[in-house]
Structures are given as structure tokens and as C-alpha cells.
Amino acid sequence: MRHPILISLSIAGAVALSGCTKNTDAQTAKILKDINVIDESNLSELMLTVGDPEEAVAYFAKASADNPERADLKRGLAKSLVKANKSLEAAKVWRELAYSPLGTNEDRVGLADALIRNNDWKGAEKELNLVPPTHETFERYRLEAMVADANKRWKKADSFYETAFGMTTTPAGVLNNWGYSKLTRGEYSAAEKLFTQALTYDPSSFTSKNNLVLARSAQRKYDMPVISMTQVERAQLLYTAALAAIKHGDVSIGQTLLQEAIDTNPQYFEEAVRALETLEATVTKG
């Protein structure tokens, strides 16, 4: 008597199991798709941060072509082109993205950055003017400061540099740019302070070290600043100070600094040797 009931239950169970299998297959497919997206995101991040720039360009170019609806891949392509020093191509990609329905304010800021790298300051200013004031990011203010600098609008530049400085935990680059701005204006003491401050955030930056020596030399302070430097860096910085001293008419000081640069460098310092020989020949003739 129980067999019909058992058969009925078995059929019902099979139908239910069949339904579960279909649902499970759909869920599995969705999970696998989500995992693939996560894997792609991780790979994209790796390509942008630690990958070879040319390899990153190739990866994002193919991925973007295969998935034209993916704005994130097109952004990755633009960023990788910038890293590969192909800012002209990067500007083209940023422009396509910024002026598309998928474009964002950050894409327009990226376009402005690429235009600045191409020395298109007017174009960069135009793009930044299209970004609403409510879009307050470090990158936006950093670029605004640079454009204001290019236009010699010093008060605006200082305001933007100060704002950008307060919006990042790694302000060494901003401080260096700000210092260089002060240097070009002839505000050497202010420039010296900014370069010194930049080095507290990034003691390895030779650009800031060299700029610091330039700012000090402009004040006829030719002694080396108390900062961390390698022997090779010290030789290079002495060479910078020497050239500045000669330019200012402090020829004997420049001569001494050139000799010190040659003696300090662990390798043959061709530029310094050539400069010293030229200087000594000129002094002798004079």
C-alpha cells in the first residue's frame, strides 16, 4: 500500500531537485561571473601599479576593445598610456571617455592632466573650467595650481597649492611644485622652506634636493644643506651649487665647489671636470 505514495514522493522530489539544479546553475554562473570581474579588477590594479607600462597599455587596449561598454577598462588604458609617457594618446582616450555618456568629472580631470603633460595649458584650463566647483579632489586642485602658475596668477596658485597640500597624505610632489613656483617668482627663502618641507615627506627625492640647493644658491648660500644624500648625490648637488655661484659672479667659490664635486664623486665626473677646465682656462686668459 505504501508503494504508490513512495513513488509519488520520489517523483515530487526529483522535480524539486531538478528545479534546484536549474537555480543552482544560474547562481553558480552569476558567482563565477562576479569572481571573474573581481579577478579582472585585481589584475587591472596590478597592471597599473606594478606592471610594465608597455604591457599595461597592451593589456588595457585589448581588454577595452573586447569590452567597449566597460568605462573602467578605458580609464585603465588612459592611465597606462600616461605611465608609458604617451600623453598624447592618453589625452585622446580621456577625451573620448570624458565626452561620452559614461564620462565623469574625474575623467575630465584626467584629460586636463594629459593636456598639461602635452604642454597644452589652454586646453587644460578649458577642461578644468568645465568641472563643477563641487568636485573637490586633490588631483583637481593640484592641476588648478599648475594652471594658475602657468598664467602667473600667483595668489590663486598659492591658494590651490595650499588646498591640495591639505588633501593628501603624500604631499611631497605638491610642495616641490609649490617651491618651484616660488623659485621662479624670485621668492627664494619661501622656496627653500617648501623644498625642505617636501623632503620631510620624501627624503629620497633628488629633484627636491637639487631645487633646495638652487633656492639656497640664489641667496648665495652655497654650503650643502643638512639633508640625507648619497656620495653621488652630494657630488651632483655641489656641481649645481658651483654653476649657480659662477652665474652669480662668485667665480672663486664656483671653482672650489667644482673641485669638491670632482673629489666627492666616486666615479669620473665628466661634466664637472669639463666645467672646471673651461673655467680655469677662462680665468687664465682673463
How would residue 84 be classed by pLDDT, with cut points 50, 70 and 90? very high
Q: Does residue 45 fall inside a structural domain? A: no
What's the pLDDT at 50?
Answer: 62
Domain span including residue 238: 230-286
Task: Give the per-residue pLDDT at 14.
Answer: 37
pLDDT digit string, tens, across residues 158-175: 999 999 999 999 999 999
How far apart (Å, rounded) are the C-alpha atoms in residues 3 and 19?
A: 24
Q: Is residue 250 part of a domain?
A: yes
Give 191-202 pLDDT, tens digit per residue.
999 999 999 999
The answer to whether position 115 is within a domain reads no
DSSP state of 100: S
Q: Cα angle at 65 between 63 and 70, to 5 degrees? A: 70
Q: Is the pLDDT of residue 87 over 90?
A: yes
Q: Please tell me the number of Cα atoms within 13 Å of 187 on its side-chain side.
A: 13
Q: CA-to-CA distance for 12 and 185, rounded, in angstroms?
A: 86
Percent share of the chain, pLDDT over 90 = 75
d(CA 156, CA 144): 9
Q: Which residues lie closer than 8 Å to 189 by C-beta, 6 or more apart? A: 215, 219
- The answer to whether residue 253 sits within a structural domain is yes
Q: Is 146 a member of any domain?
A: no
Answer whether residue 13 shows pLDDT above 50: no
Report the Cα–Cα distance between both ends of the chain, in Å, rounded.
Answer: 127
Res 21: pLDDT: 41
Tell me if 192 is assigned to some domain: no
- The pLDDT tens digits for 20-66 are 444 555 554 444 444 444 455 566 667 766 668 899 899 989 999 99
Does 244 reside within a domain?
yes
Tell me, yes or no, whether 264 lies in a domain: yes
Which residue matches cell numbers 585589448? 62
Q: Look at the chain and report how many structural domains it folds into.
A: 1
205: CB partners within 8 A, 6+ apart: 172, 176, 198, 199
Query: What are the tens digits of pLDDT across the range 111-143?
Result: 999 999 999 999 999 999 999 999 999 999 999
